[in-house]
Amino acid sequence: MELDDLKTAWQTLDRRLAAQSALNLHMLKEGKLDKLRRGLRPLFWGQVAQILFGVALIVFSASFWTQYIDVPHLLIAGVSMHIYGVVSVVFAGFTLGMMSRIDYAAPVLAIQKQLAKLRRTYIINGMCAGLPWWWLWMTLLQMISMSVVGADLYANSPGWVLGCYGAGAVGLLATWRVHRWSRSRPQLAQGVDDSVTGSSLRKARRFLEEIAEFERA
């Protein structure tokens, strides 16, 4: 075989290998991105549930505090829960909006950046939705007790109600301290972040990392 024929054969083989590699990458990327989309569905439905829950709280709270405008502690309880419902709906809406703007046809690096923004939004959403329950469980209990059986917990047992709110403040402070302490320990901080991120986003990040690793190979 002459040198020109050998070069032509090598070039043909190189083109075929490049085409096969591109096909493999395309198939891998399509499969992983499809899994990513399906993997984010629980997060989507979780935000829908948060919106429905927030709307229910808004309706219940509005009907509650408007009845007790002249009773300060009941007014505060109702308005506080009303505000919480609005915040829950707004942050869930932000999260859904960011999910809808993910461009799965974009380069992997661009998708990773979009997913990172979604992850930060979701963490803030989780903090705003979860941390207030150190207090709000008592607020909701007051409202339900008054609405269902007409029992004013604060009027009947102010010390117990205030003690529960105080315990909630201690719990919130302890949570903040643990979070600050974990920041100085990278592995622990990663574990804390993963615990509040949710499995859907962790799996999505792993799929993108696998695609990026294949691209670099």
Among candidate residues 135, 98, 100, the one with its CA nearest the CA of residue 118: 98
Confidence (pLDDT) at 200: 67
Amino acid at 78: G
Among candidate residues 107, 133, 125, 131, the one with its CA nearest the CA of residue 201: 125
Confidence (pLDDT) at 90: 94
Ranges of the chain whose pLDDT falls below 50:
1, 9-10, 13, 17-28
Confidence (pLDDT) at 7: 54
Q: How far apart are CA 217 and CA 211, in angstroms?
A: 10
Question: 26-58, pLDDT tens digit by residue?
Answer: 444 565 667 777 777 888 898 999 999 999 999
Alpha-helical regions (H) of 66-198? 72-100, 108-130, 133-148, 153-156, 158-183, 186-197
Q: How far apart are CA 126 and CA 141, in angstroms?
A: 22
Tokens of 25: 């990458």
Amino acid at 171: G
